[in-house]
Amino acid sequence: MTSAPVQVAIVGLGRWAKVLTRASAKSEKLKIVAGYSRSAEKREAFERETGVPSAPTIETVLVDRSIEGVILTVPNEQHLPMAALVAKAKKHVYTEKPIASSLAEGLEIAALEKKYGITVTVGHSARLMAGIRKIREAIDAGELGRVAFLEANFSNNRALELTPLTWRWYKDKAPGGPLSQLAIHQFDVLHYLGGEVVEASGMASKLSPVGAEVDDQSMTLLKFADGKIGYVGSCWTSPGIFSVRVFGSKGLMHYEIDFDTWDTPDQLHKKSTLYIQRGIDGYAKREELRVPESDMFRAELEMFAESCRTGKANELSAHNGNVAVAMVYAALKSLEQNGQSVAIASVLEDAQSRVRE
């Protein structure tokens, strides 16, 4: 017999709430039973479009004992206050990435787990893509030999569309531009594939003609605890791309998706590229690999459902979410120091000291 789906609510009913609600509809492990926004108009529109009943107040969600967890798709600066409300009501928390608008707030969210006996899941879904999982399988099986170098890129043309009316225009809202908005996905992916990252250094530039405050080109170099090195690039003035490449002593693997299918991950396998190149024979002997069907958004929601059911954290943990933010902050600090390497541990320690204060 199968267990009944975990019942959850979703708070913040913008575009991303609709993406996740569509993904949840394909799952037998959880069900979104209520949606809340401060805007009555948004609540009504969301209910019409998705069929999810709207909750008139956040208190309605928090006191409902049948609701075991809450998905937060609110703006970044609302992650901490909303997560605190949810956790205090003894409900599990799912928050979109980044975990919070600052590393200190992210650490405060992580502390809610111990304080209230709940779990926090962070929506770093990119590591759940089928191609990324296949690369990890190859690494673990020793197919690539000793991995020494990783590179990743996540770019799009967002900087060409910015205006002073959009929050991404401003440094305090989107620090580093694509660094905090896109590269953070790849920081988590490379952390998953390569293990602990100990240092980051970066450079950035501003080339978009629109005149936004934020940088729109970003390059970050990473050093891992075991000596391997990596690179994450993010351009905000080009067509969309998401690609990852891992180099080992026995071979390399490359994975790339069609960026236009990001919102419909169940279709990613149809246009993705995944290959392995073994030995020294080069391009001619690259082997194209089949990308299995998958849905990273459904997968992350089902991980959240399992945490709601068991009370145990999953790999999309608050800790991993904070590591990704710490890598962003280390890269930003490096930019201020003309590319000098910055220790990830020092960034985490600085944020922890601010929390204690």
Run of H or E including 223: strand 217-224
- Quick one: 265 and 239 in the same domain? yes
**What one-character DSSP code corresponds to residue 317?**
B
Residues of the chain with pLDDT under 70: 1-2
Residue 33, number of CB atoms within 10 A of its CB:
18
- Quick one: 201 and 134 in the same domain? yes
User: Residue 182: CB partners within 8 Å, gap ≥ 6?
Assistant: 154, 155, 156, 234, 236
Check residue 261 and give its pLDDT: 83
In a domain, 170, yes or no: yes
Taking each helix axis from N to C terminus, what angle separates 103-116 and 318-336, rounded to the nearest 10 degrees? 160
Question: Using CA atoms, how far apart are residues 116 and 101, in angstroms rounded to an integer?
Answer: 22
Nearest Cα neighbor of 185 from 120, 96, 253, 254 is: 96
Check residue 1 and give its pLDDT: 45
Q: How many domains does the chain have?
A: 2
- Quick one: 23 and 80 in the same domain? yes
- Quick one: 118 and 160 in the same domain? no
Domain of residue 308, residue span:
6-125+298-315
Check residue 287 and give its pLDDT: 93
- Assign residue 44 the CATH number of its domain: 3.40.50.720
In a domain, 280, yes or no: yes
